[in-house]
Amino acid sequence: MRITSWGQYPLIDAEWNYVTRSHKKTIARGMGRSYGDSALYSHVTSSRFLNLFLDFDSEAGYLRLGAGVTLGEILELSIPKGWFLPVTPGTQYVTVGGAIASDVHGKNHHRQGCFSEYVESFLLCLGNGEVVNCSRNQYPDLFKATCGGMGLTGIILEVTIKLQSIQSTFIDQIILKTKSLEETLELFETHTNSTYSVAWIDCLNQGRSRLILGEHAKGEIKLQNHSSLSIPFNFPVLNSLSIKMFNEMYYRAKKLNQEVYYQQFFYPLDKIKNWNRLYGKKGFTQYQFVIPKAVGLEGLKTILNKLRVANRNSFLAVLKMFGKQNENYLSFPIEGYTLALDFKLDKYLFDFLNELDSIVLHFGGRLYLTKDCRMSEKVFKQSYPQWQVFQSTREKYYALDKFESLQSRRIGL
């Protein structure tokens, strides 16, 4: 079967199976919302039928569920009972297993950390077929390797997570427009107390941006129907001109402060299903890096400058602030700023991204594995200093030679 992930690159032939207790060399796969080759291999194991809820304590907010349930389904169940995900990425079409494997972050990392912070425990199927219950107390090393471990320690089967209570399905949103990157970063710092913060920046205009702040509103739980549009086939309309126009319009958009429905606040891109097809069938990649706080401004400026000189623009350029790093061996966030840039693939793109890699490394930063399809082994190992601990934990729990992805092979894991 031909498979690919969100970036539609690479596209490979693979054998596809559902979870069983014994498997060939394989990699787990959820919704395939990772952009690159993390969930790709000649043999993949889909978590699709781990899609049942197991237990919901709606008094205390604990939820036990199969690893293939999506975050959207969790919210559908939990919101009417007043519970929300403490951390959510920018799309609800990801599985809870995928959220753990990438240790995903939201717009509140500076306050609430990564997804794994709210994971109580999970059942993991190891390379020898054994199923173990991992938590911070049981198999703590395996827990730290699996959260952020990109499926390379085993297959997550069942998960217990802790939800967060909410009083309203709305978010009080404030939008601040800035004229430059300096100003944007200053405002991020001024508003560290905001629960949610994120900036959409215009790469070609000194990084002028819209900084969006949000708080859970008070009031009541009200559900709204929301419709979505679907792009049924590859329809390449994103080019430098349309991106420029979008950014201009978006920057100028008037409505600033308002109460918005949670879907609109957290998942604006889910409005258009398969928007990845707007990049055409050659695919695209997202280049998401983080630069440590101390050199954040300088690092970001250097990168934006590089984009300008190369005349490369990104349709989406999303900037977030990261709080403290957690203990997981391969979790991406370190304290600083993270910028995500989307690029349509072309002949020269990877050379260009290699140049960006050197800048990111120079400033002590790193790239997000779940977005990556091309980083070299050298760049990875230099920027993820705990890779050896990760690797020996994999060895200890029979994962070597059992769980592999195209990515793990490329980066030498």
Partner 1 sequence: MTKIMIIGATSCIAEAVSKRYAKRGYEFYLVARNENRLKDLANDLKIRGAKSVNYGNHETITESLHNIDIVLIAYGTLGDQKACEQNVGLALQELNTNAISIMTLLTELANYFEQQKSGTIAVISSVAGDRGRQSNYIYGAAKGAVSIFLQGLRNRLYKSGVNVLTIKPGFVDTPMTKDFKKGLLWSSPENIAKGIEKAIDKKKDCVYLPFWWWGIMAFIRIIPEKIFKRMSL
Ligand X SMILES: Cc1cc2nc3c(=O)[nH]c(=O)nc-3n(C[C@H](O)[C@H](O)[C@H](O)COP(=O)(O)OP(=O)(O)OC[C@H]3O[C@@H](n4cnc5c(N)ncnc54)[C@H](O)[C@@H]3O)c2cc1C
Q: Which stretch binds partner 1 (CB under 8 A): 46-54, 207-215, 326-334, 372-380?
A: 46-54
Distance CA 327, CA 345 (A): 34
User: Which member of 269, 294, 324, 358 binds ligand X (CB under 6 A)?
Assistant: 269
CA distances for 108 relative to 20, 76, 187, 216, angstroms: 36, 21, 15, 12
The option from ligand X, partner 1, none interacting with 55 (CB < 5 to 8 A, set by class) reads partner 1
Could you tell me the sign of the dihedral formed by the alpha carbons of 68, 70, 73, 74, in that order?
positive
Q: What is the total count of residues that contact ligand X (CB under 6 A)? A: 34
Residue 276 is given by DSSP the state: G
Residues 31-70 that bind ligand X (CB under 6 A): 31-34, 38-39, 47, 67
**Residue 29 found at the interface with ligand X (CB under 6 A):** yes
In the chain, % helix, strand, coil (3-state, to 5) comes to: 30, 25, 40
Could you say which of 9, 35, 41, 56 contacts partner 1 (CB under 8 A)?
Answer: 56
Does 319 engage in binding with ligand X (CB under 6 A)? Answer: no
Measured from the CB atom, the residue of 106 and 207 that comes closer to ligand X is 106
Q: Is 102 in the site for ligand X (CB under 6 A)?
A: yes
Q: Which stretch binds partner 1 (CB under 8 A): 51-59, 138-146, 188-196, 216-224?
A: 51-59
Site for ligand X contains 105 (CB under 6 A): yes
Rounded distance between C-alpha atoms, residue 60 and residue 393, angstroms: 33
- Helix runs in 113-180, H state only: 140-146
β-pairing, 164-165 vs 83-84, is antiparallel
Rounded to an integer, what distance in angstroms lies between the CA atom of residue 388 and that of residue 319? 30
Cβ proximity to ligand X: between 23 and 29 the closer is: 29
Tell me if 288 sits within 8 A of 341, measured CB to CB: yes
- Strand pairing report for 155-162 and 62-66: antiparallel
DSSP per-residue letters across 145-162: HHTTSTT-S-EEEEEEEE
| Partner whose binding site includes residue 52, from ligand X, partner 1, none (CB under 5 to 8 Å by kind) | partner 1
Work out whether the CA dihedral 265, 270, 276, 279 comes out positive or negative: negative
Q: What single letter denotes the amino acid at residue 163?
A: L
Single-letter residue type at 185: L
Provide the minimum distance between the beta carbon of 53 and partner 1 in the complex, in angstroms, as a whole number: 4
Q: Is 370 in the site for ligand X (CB under 6 A)?
A: yes
Q: Is 52 in the site for partner 1 (CB under 8 A)?
A: yes
Strand partners, 84: 164
Cα distance between residue 101 and residue 330, in whole Å? 10
Residue 397: exposure state from Cβ atoms within 10 A (0-12, 13-18, ≥19): buried
Q: Residue 54 binds which one of ligand X, partner 1, none, with CB within 5 to 8 A depending on kind?
A: partner 1
For the CB of residue 125, give the shortest distance to partner 1 in the complex, in Å.
16
CA angle 64, 327, 342 (to 5 degrees): 85
Stretch of residues binding ligand X (CB under 6 A), selected from 97-105, 247-255, 256-264, 292-300: 97-105
From ligand X, partner 1, none, interface partner of 156 (C-beta below 5 to 8 A by class): ligand X
Q: Considering the rule CB under 6 A, would residue 98 count as an interface residue with ligand X?
A: yes
Span interacting with partner 1, options 54-62, 98-106, 173-181, 211-219, rule CB under 8 A: 54-62
CB of 16: closest distance to ligand X in angstroms? 12
Does position 13 bind partner 1 by CB under 8 A?
Answer: no
Q: Cis ω on the peptide bond leading into residue 10 (within 30° of 0)?
A: yes
Q: Which does 28 bind (CB under 5 to 8 A by kind): ligand X, partner 1, none?
A: ligand X
What is residue 253's DSSP assignment?
-
Instruction: Report, in Å, the least distance between residue 321 CB and ligand X.
Output: 13
**Residues 207 to 266 in contact with partner 1, rule: CB under 8 A:** 232-233
- The site for ligand X (CB under 6 A) is made up of 5-6, 27-34, 38-39, 47, 67, 89-91, 94-95, 97-99, 101-102, 104-106, 150-151, 155-156, 269, 370, 405
- The site for partner 1 (CB under 8 A) is made up of 1-2, 16, 18, 52-56, 76-77, 232-233
